Amino acid sequence: MEDDMLTCNSVESPGPPFLDNAASSVATSLRRCANDKLPVSGNRDTTVSRWRKHCPTPIENDNIFEIETHCKDPELCSTIACDIYKHLREAEQTKKRPSPDFLETTQKDIDASMRAVLIDWLVEVTEEYRLVPETLYLTVSYIDRYLSSKEINRDKLQLLGVACLLIAAKYEEICPPQVEELCYITDNTYIKDEVYSPAD
């Protein structure tokens, strides 16, 4: 088997193929054409330093990047950036997350399959109304956070889903569905007043 393998005794790589004068002029012409069309900076160090100057530095531990000192774009909300970061960090804390075992500890009348049916129904509703995916994610988060803190009966589970969907849609959507539409998709099981106060 070793006899069949080809080996190269040379440690040098082969050189470029030989070009005659005609091929050389074509290569030069292509290089000139490419250089004319591509915006390549002659001084690479200046380009890299300019890029690094405008590139934000990564956040180290709890150090917050000061947007207003580096960027002048008014759409970045630089005046309230610290408040936004603070809010997002607080939202990441465990007190804002649903309990991982709320179906076993908090809920007596609801199990995982009922929650799954509700989430499947909410997926269909968000697709029917063409809501953004973030609305669905926020709805599920609201449902789980509510179920982590309060016990409810199974006959109020869909009402909770509709109320959470309404809140999430008002937060995420440009044109959220009306409460009457949400009552209609429950086959008028609930009325407008019940959706506005589902805890009763």
| CATH number belonging to domain 100-196 | 1.10.472.10
Confidence check: pLDDT of 49 > 90: no
Provide the mean pLDDT of the chain.
75
Where are the chain's structural domains?
Answer: 63-96, 100-196
SS3 content of the chain, % helix, strand, coil (to 5): 60, 0, 40
Question: Could you give the percent of the chain with pLDDT greater than 90?
Answer: 36
Q: What is the pTM of this model?
A: 0.57
Confidence check: pLDDT of 196 > 90: no
The length of the chain, given as a count of residues: 200
pLDDT band at 141 (very low <50, low <70, confident <90, very high): very high
Q: How far apart are CA 121 and CA 4, in angstroms?
A: 65
Nearest to 152 by CA among 198, 194, 96, 95: 198
pLDDT tens-digit readout, 63-104: 555 655 666 666 666 677 778 888 778 877 766 778 888 888
Calculate the dihedral angle through the C-alpha atoms of 98, 99, 103, 106, rounding to the nearest 10 degrees. -100
Residue 160 · residue 198 · CB < 8 Å:
yes
pLDDT band at 200 (very low <50, low <70, confident <90, very high): very low
Instruction: Please give the residue that has the higher pLDDT: either 27 or 88.
Output: 88
Structure tokens at 56: 């934000």
CA angle 43/45/50 to nearest 5° reads: 100
Point out the least confidently predicted range of 15-19, 163-167, 171-175, 179-183: 15-19
pLDDT at 44: 52
